[in-house]
Chain A
């Protein structure tokens, strides 16, 4: 995931009731410009339209949009797939417009995506976040993500990233022995190739 554009101080915020926000799953090409506008506004990296299409065409069920009175104010874009013998989900982009932040919108978006991933048989979810992105780190931390590793100068601006990971509980009832036989997942090198799609 790409570094966020630094937020300006003193942005105005909007008063709203939680119930006023409507969440919808990605519904087709007409949603694409909404997602693109949001991400373009808040993240520093230029994505080509192909990047968005890669995600929303292959995993439409993992992308969500948040609307407030018809206006798209937040979005999440994800994927999932086999990765070195693990089936894992990956959160690629998450954005909430500044005036709408701090109201749990991102939490709701992430939660929805993760639930679908879980139901689809993912064993874990990963993403990268800039080490300086306090908001995102706090948000994911509260959802149970751990900082699995630090990626040295992961972003072009020279900032390190954390690889965040959320491991789902195993479904079957397990003995301690099974528990210790953890999965084989030495993956970071390949990972860079596969998932740091935009740099």
Chain B
């Protein structure tokens, strides 16, 4: 065959100085003849594993070369793929430039959402040759601002870099990301904006006044369309301008530009609205109607943009099989930017709380909006800069406040290696909390051990080091520092553990048959967390108290000393809830064989060890193992009154706490949810118990009931009981309904409810 087909050797890939192109088809053919199926000729370092990454040449599913339309950007340009101007008809030219702008927005959103820059934004041929566009001021300035914006975003994300999600995002190899003069993009864009604004004014002016501005050349040739085209361009240009400004302002150190950024963000959002509105005009102009809808279109007009070819950059991406990237639709692209801007706005309105507790709270709340990479990267560079909180507060200051060190000690510079490490742990923690939930959970699991080790080192190190270093401090103070810090480190460790466990719900890592052990684990972790938090407050209180005594404060104040702080009480609610849910699930398992987990290959022990391996490794908590879990749930019966009391207590405390948190809507919502879960389950439990006691045989009542939806519907009997378990701790719930066929599928309808608006 090889003799018959003479392959043309493509001259656009030149031979090197000491290399020439040669046809080896004949050699391959004769080699093949000697081989049988499944045999492989290979070098020593080429094994079957390496063979897997082999690409089959000439297979369009594998070979990125053969799906490429052009060999190079120059060839594409020579073939007229990206003309300048886009059309000699100036109206058409404007229309085409708008399409490019829109498609670029879709591409940019697609990039932010996790595809490579090369195959999204830089599929635009105009962007790839920065100098070519010079003669077209509008296109040129727009390309510049796009490149500059991409550059800015890449730099934020690289600064925040923590995991592979960012790696793909910041892969810019071979792309002309920094065109000469792109830094002047704003002034160029401004000039273009000015011109179009004047053109808009000119076409709107009454005929009598037109003479004044007559020397003004219109944007394009059709006077009927002039106004709308000017408007369509203006909002697009202004959006880019404000977006660039907003990003620049956000990068100012110590959050100094946040207020300014908010103004630009607001402008961006309003320009986006105008962009959306312009679609109607552009659409009707381009194709006559807008009827087809815009679901899949990447431009406002619905037209295919000129000058894009994603395959041109194939060679820049890793040698993987070619995969077509689906660019987000224009509507989805605009929606993405709206969401991004809202997320950034939340960041910009943050008050830069100097207390670590407040920072952590803010970050956790921020995650509820499910921010994408770009917003999270901004969060991180805002929080941590120059190794300081907000680039402002030294970590030790942050820790002293968090650990509630006595005032006298706060200013004292303690140079201690272990404390330095602790500072690093805090910084790492904050960075990890800015990553996506999946990655975050894995990392949190791993750093638990670091925190544990750090605790032990601190414990050992404090006594020794303080004596050596701080001869100026009296020993009493040293003891105090170590006590405060140690308690705080433990508290923080348990906080991380509880975040780790609750993220498992968010990520849907637990199946219903595992809920029981997860609740049990949360229960034991919450207890330790509450203990440490309480201890911390008591310790700092003691210090404060002594001062207060000196000031001879009233007896009333002293009486207040013994009240448990609301933060601890809230934890207490969670403890009750977790305890009750554990018991309830255990009892249902023990007595009714639901929520069991029987596999042919392993037991609950293995599943427990797998789920909590990282916690167990870090001894969180001490002396807790599968056997503690087994022991505490093995004999639980539904008749155990503790369960119901726990639900009641959770409900009661949540009610009482309302007054303490009335200023905090999120906490209020959390309290409401706790009350509801506790109440629902209390009712469900009563119902189950009542039916249990009247049922004839074990598990009989499941089948004997007549009414459906016993809990919510009819109280007189049931086939189906709903209990409320928490899917995301502490925000959402899962309603697990199961009916009593004993061995069937119990989870016919598991609905995740973000909010419990029954």
Contact = CB atoms under 8 A, between A and B. Distances in A.
Interface of A: 29, 32, 46, 48-51, 53-54, 57-58, 111, 114, 118, 131, 141-153, 156, 158, 160, 162, 165-169, 176, 179-180, 182, 186, 188, 192, 197-199
Interface in B7-65: 37-38, 40, 48-49, 51-56, 59, 61-62
Contacts of B609: 167, 179, 182
A188 B442 contact: yes
Interface stretch (B257-265, B508-516, B569-577, B715-723): B508-516
A132 B62 CA distance: 26
Contact of B605 (A50, A169, A199): A169
6 contacts: A48-B52, A53-B48, A118-B601, A143-B600, A176-B627, A182-B617
A176 B56 CA distance: 53
Contacts of B385: none
Interface string B415-438: 000000000000000000000111
Contacts of A197: 52-53
A144 B606 CA distance: 9
A157 to B, nearest CB: 9
A199 to B, nearest CB: 7
Contacts of A166: 599, 601-602, 606
Contacts, number: 121
Given A148-B610, A167-B609, A141 B51 contact: no
Given A48-B55, A57-B48, A167-B602, A146 B607 contact: yes
A58 B613 CA distance: 31
Interface in B195-222: none
A193 to B, nearest CB: 11
Q: Is the interface of A mostly helix, strand, loop or mixed?
A: mixed
Contacts of A50: 48, 51-52, 54
A185 to B, nearest CB: 8
Contacts of A114: 601
Contact of B601 (A32, A150, A168): A168
Given A148-B611, A169-B606, A179-B605, 7 more contacts: A54-B51, A54-B52, A114-B601, A142-B599, A148-B610, A180-B616, A182-B609
B52 A51 contact: yes
Nearest to A54: B48
A118 B600 CA distance: 12
Contact of A156 (B56, B323, B437, B507): B323
Given A50-B48, A152-B436, A179-B609, A158 B113 contact: yes
B625 interface: yes
A153 B165 contact: yes
Nearest to A140: B599
B508 A147 contact: yes
B325 to A, nearest CB: 9
A111 B55 CA distance: 33
B320 interface: yes
A149 B441 contact: yes
Contacts of A58: 48
Contacts of B49: 54
Given A158-B114, A179-B605, A180-B625, A150 B509 contact: yes
Contact of A168 (B438, B439, B602): B602
B601 A143 contact: yes
B603 interface: yes
A179 B600 contact: no
Contacts of A198: 52
B446 interface: yes
A141 B514 CA distance: 11
Contact of A143 (B437, B599, B616): B599
Contacts of A192: 164
A111 B323 CA distance: 34
Q: Choose among A142, A146, A182, A199 the residue with the greatest number of B CB atoms under 10 Å from its CB.
A: A146
Contacts of B85: none
B729 interface: no
A65 to B, nearest CB: 17
Nearest to A161: B438
Contact of B616 (A167, A182, A186): A182
B71 interface: no
B438 A169 contact: no
Contacts of A152: 165, 436, 438-439
